[in-house]
Structure 1
Amino acid sequence: MFNYSDKLNTLMETVKRIYEENWGKYPPSHDFLHVKRVLVIAEKIAREEGFTEEDILILKTAVILHDIAIAVTGSKNNHAEKSSKIAEDMLRKLGYPSKAVEVICTAIAEHSWRVNRKPSSRISAILQDADRIDALGAIGLARLFSYSTILGRLFYNEEEPIPRSRQLNEDRYALDHVFTKLAKIPDRMNTASGRRIAENRLKLLLKILGYMEREIEGKM
């Protein structure tokens, strides 16, 4: 029988080394710490959803490799499909069963929000949920600001930091991205567990924005 646990440990060290060797090449918002956080979230959801131990190990494998192309190339451009191809090569070299490789690589190819693909398996569904949850809450806001500096966005619109009446412009203002994408994440969850976590993190994120607005206005 294939030992997923041993292979997972080997893969974890290999991928960690790839991220370390390419540090500075990829955005900090998509570093190995992001991978580790998504691992924790994914396992939590999987256990609540009744996954077997073997399926949890397969899910973890998908999580570890889901953004590998970003670490290798430094770019998010078509990263889900590219990560899927890199993952397939790595997993076959490690001797993973063909069925597991197919499930893992398909889940990776499907995980991107921009690609907007429906999950074809429970593994894919939870990978999507866990990855998107990490875009919410306090960590999500930190990641948003980090990545926005790379995109050349201002943190917020000076006249109306929290957009209430003006037109949204996420290409220009980081905080607008909260309302064009992040606020929609809970409704896009595939699992009940994921939705609960996402809703709680969105509430926290919006609460933080309230404090930010008060600071900007000199009320704190």
Structure 2
Amino acid sequence: MEIEGWAVQELRRRMDADGAHDVAHVARVVRMARQIDRELGHLCDPAVLTAAAWLHDLVSLPKSHPERARSSLLSADEAVDLLGRRGFPTEKLGQVHHAIHAHSFSAGLPCRSIEAEVLQDADRLDALGAIGLARCFYTAGRMGAQIFDPDDPLAARRPLDDRAFALDHLPVKLYRIADTLHTLPARRIAAARVALLKSFEAALVEEAG
């Protein structure tokens, strides 16, 4: 079953102008999920992984939305409805639903399948590295946050507050992501990307004086 063509059209129709959660983000997650699965020796059901990866952000509520934590559940519900109407194997819809529902950081749902683990890892890796940094500062700007606290960039004398300062999001969430990953390929990639984040943080503090 060919998913990419109609999935991209559906995503473009539904997604707003959020550059951190756009079709390009979804395409990167699809590529990374496939890369992780290849390195694992193709342990995933390709139909389940592909469908879940393309449709994991079908509903993406803004971070400020009170129902933000339900985004992945809403995406999962919408995805299985679309897939069911397009002839996707009925016996695999539950696996797709779980993988999408469990991928979200805010949902806090444990993964019960290798497809869920791979999708979650692929999605979280997109929050790290150069693109992860760009997404972090882009989102912080949309939410009205400052780049950093000029009086205390590393929060040595104040509580961390990533709603007020974008740089605080690195220790609040991004550095912690590497510890949540399931697969060895994802953890290897995350180590390099976290090193880049820490190098950026050190350079920013040095430039800030």
TM-score by length of 1: 0.86
- Tell me the distance in 1 between the aligned counterparts of 2:79 and 2:17: 18
- Tell me the distance in 2 between the aligned counterparts of 1:22 and 1:210: 38
- Tell me the distance in 2 between the aligned counterparts of 1:39 and 1:216: 37
When the two chains are superposed, the root-mean-square deviation of aligned CA atoms in Å is 2.0
Q: How many Å apart are 1:118 and its aligned residue?
A: 1.1
Please give the residue correspondences for 1:99-138 in structure 2 after superposition, counting only pairs within 5 Å: 99-138=91-130
Partner of 2:89: 97
Please give the residue correspondences for 1:57-76 in structure 2 after superposition, counting only pairs within 5 Å: 57-70=47-60
- Tell me the distance in 2 between the aligned counterparts of 1:60 and 1:216: 44
State the SS of the aligned residue for 1:28: coil
Identify the match of residue 160 of structure 1 among 152, 158, 177. 152
- Tell me the distance in 2 between the aligned counterparts of 1:207 and 1:196: 17
* 2:41 paired with 1:50: yes
Partner of 2:26: 35
State the SS of the aligned residue for 1:60: helix
Identity %: 32
Partner of 1:4: none
Q: Deviations over 1:54-82 (max 9, x none)?
A: 723421211100001128xxx67221000
Q: How many Å apart are 1:138 and its aligned residue?
A: 0.7
Change (3 A) 1:157 1:60: same
Q: How many Å apart are 1:50 and its aligned residue?
A: 1.4
State the SS of the aligned residue for 2:45: helix
State the SS of the aligned residue for 2:160: coil
Please give the residue correspondences for 1:140-159 in structure 2 after superposition, counting only pairs within 5 Å: 140-159=132-151
Structure 1, unpaired ranges of 5+: 1-6
State the SS of the aligned residue for 1:29: coil
Partner of 1:3: none
Q: How many Å apart are 1:120 and its aligned residue?
A: 0.9
Runs of 4+ residues over 6 Å off in structure 1: none
Q: Deviations over 1:26-69 (max 9, x none)?
A: 421000110111111111111111125x7234212111000011
- Tell me the distance in 2 between the aligned counterparts of 1:192 and 1:13: 31
- Tell me the distance in 1 between the aligned counterparts of 2:55 and 2:6: 10
Partner of 2:197: 205
